[in-house]
Amino acid sequence: MNSKNQSSIIIVGAGIIGTTLAWYLSCNFNGKIMLIDKSEAGLGVTQHAFAWLNVSYGRPDGYSKLRQLALREWRNLDRLTNGQLNINWSGAISWQENEAATRQFIDSHSEKGFKIRGLTKHELQAIEPNLLTLPELAAFSEDEGYVDPTYVTQTLLKLAVAQGINYLPNTDVLAMVHENNKITGITTSTETLYADQVIITAGVGAIELLKTLQVTLPLFASPSIIAHFQSRGTPPAMKHIISTPEMEVRPATDGKTLCAEDYIDDTPEHSATHIAQNALCTLKKSFISTDDLNLEKAFTGMRPMPQDEMPIVGKVTDFNGLYIISMHAAVTLAPLICHLAQDEIIHNTEQAALSPYRLTRFASGN
């Protein structure tokens, strides 16, 4: 990495995106790869993800298709890593405010070729016996699942390191080094590291990094709340991901129960802990076997959210040798996007599936 002549890549940021990219590159790139993080792998917003691997609803068709392909790529990645990622393909159950809205939800997903079916009250009761109040109709998306995002990140890192990448934790990248418009490396507080390409996968940290090049990234930090609940000796009350107008809940691989909640504002009555306490009341009203369920911890995570909520992937065109990957729903999308991106990074071949998601689509024309 210290010689300007080596074929080399530096990845800045070891969240779900940086480690997934490092893993794909470690399989296919012959040069040197260094993955740098200012903290430790997976300890950015990735650790706070609800980590539901899902398709989206009410989004442009092309994006829904991308999310469907992303679920397939997770299965592919699972095979390639010999099941070490512990993906739980439980499927997801959901319902809307009323039966007509749930029917429309099912129909619109089916029309787009997604595997989804309706569940009657009786069928739902059979697969979620602890639910107290059941709708007449629920949707079941059998192809969806969840992961432990920190575990997956650290596992992919371990596999990438075993395949030869260098990992540099606790190293804050301060700026990119460039000669005119060619990026040649990065600087930390202690040294300069040179590389042929620098890939920014720094989550919300990408905003400050690109600012050092006078590039305004159309991305903001979007807060969202995660709550962890545990009970003494009782397994989670639910067996699937369940998403309703009242709650978004799932069992966790370590026997806990997770809830994702909307952030409201920074007043004390809307703190993560208060919102999590309210979620606990909802859980207790919704399921039997939740009497000894307790709030363990709650956090507000800052999601990297592009202005139009679509991924940002590709070259930063004012600069040669600089590539960025930043998006919301990165847990769902990371394997597909990183698989496609590694081809662009290694072979400089444009992937058509990524063309709607270039930075150039924003008016600023970076």
Ligand X SMILES: Cc1cc2nc3c(=O)[nH]c(=O)nc-3n(C[C@H](O)[C@H](O)[C@H](O)COP(=O)(O)OP(=O)(O)OC[C@H]3O[C@@H](n4cnc5c(N)ncnc54)[C@H](O)[C@@H]3O)c2cc1C
Residue 274 to residue 251: CA distance in whole angstroms: 21
Contact call for residue 203 and ligand X (CB under 6 A): yes
Q: Which two tokens stand for residue 216?
A: 């305004």
Residue 70 to residue 57: CA distance in whole angstroms: 15
Contact call for residue 12 and ligand X (CB under 6 A): yes
Contact call for residue 298 and ligand X (CB under 6 A): no
Give residue 46's identity as a one-letter amino acid code: T
One of 94, 286, 332, 366 touching ligand X (CB under 6 A) = 332
Contact call for residue 226 and ligand X (CB under 6 A): yes
One of 1, 11, 35, 49 touching ligand X (CB under 6 A) = 49
Q: Which two tokens stand for residue 4?
A: 């300007």
Q: Which two tokens stand for residue 163?
A: 């395949």
Whether the CB-CB separation of 250 and 240 falls below 8 Å is answered with: yes
Neighbours of 271 (CB within 10 A): 16
Residue 355 to residue 341: CA distance in whole angstroms: 11
One of 23, 24, 29, 52 touching ligand X (CB under 6 A) = 52
One of 9, 10, 14, 215 touching ligand X (CB under 6 A) = 14
Closest to ligand X by CB, 41 vs 293, is 41
One of 50, 105, 319, 357 touching ligand X (CB under 6 A) = 50
One of 8, 10, 44, 71 touching ligand X (CB under 6 A) = 44
One of 99, 172, 344, 350 touching ligand X (CB under 6 A) = 172
Coil, helix or strand at residue 172? coil
One of 39, 108, 110, 187 touching ligand X (CB under 6 A) = 39
Residue 263 DSSP class: -
Closest to ligand X by CB, 118 vs 261, is 261
Nearest CA-CA partner of 363 in 313, 324, 325, 308: 308
Residue 121 to residue 129: CA distance in whole angstroms: 11
One of 209, 217, 242, 359 touching ligand X (CB under 6 A) = 209
Contact call for residue 304 and ligand X (CB under 6 A): yes
Q: Which stretch binds ligand X (CB under 6 A): 22-30, 43-51, 120-128, 277-285?
A: 43-51
Q: Which residues contact 214 (CB under 8 A, 6 or more apart)?
A: none
Name the region of 33 (left: φ>0; alpha: ψ -120 to 50; beta: rest): beta
Rounded least distance, CB 348 to ligand X, Å: 23
Whether the CB-CB separation of 55 and 306 falls below 8 Å is answered with: no
One of 22, 25, 34, 48 touching ligand X (CB under 6 A) = 48
Residue found under tokens 């969202």:
224
Contact call for residue 16 and ligand X (CB under 6 A): yes
Q: Which stretch binds ligand X (CB under 6 A): 33-41, 56-64, 114-122, 314-322?
A: 33-41
Binding site for ligand X (CB under 6 A): 12-18, 36-39, 43-46, 48-52, 172-173, 201-203, 205, 209, 224-226, 260, 301, 303-304, 326, 328-332
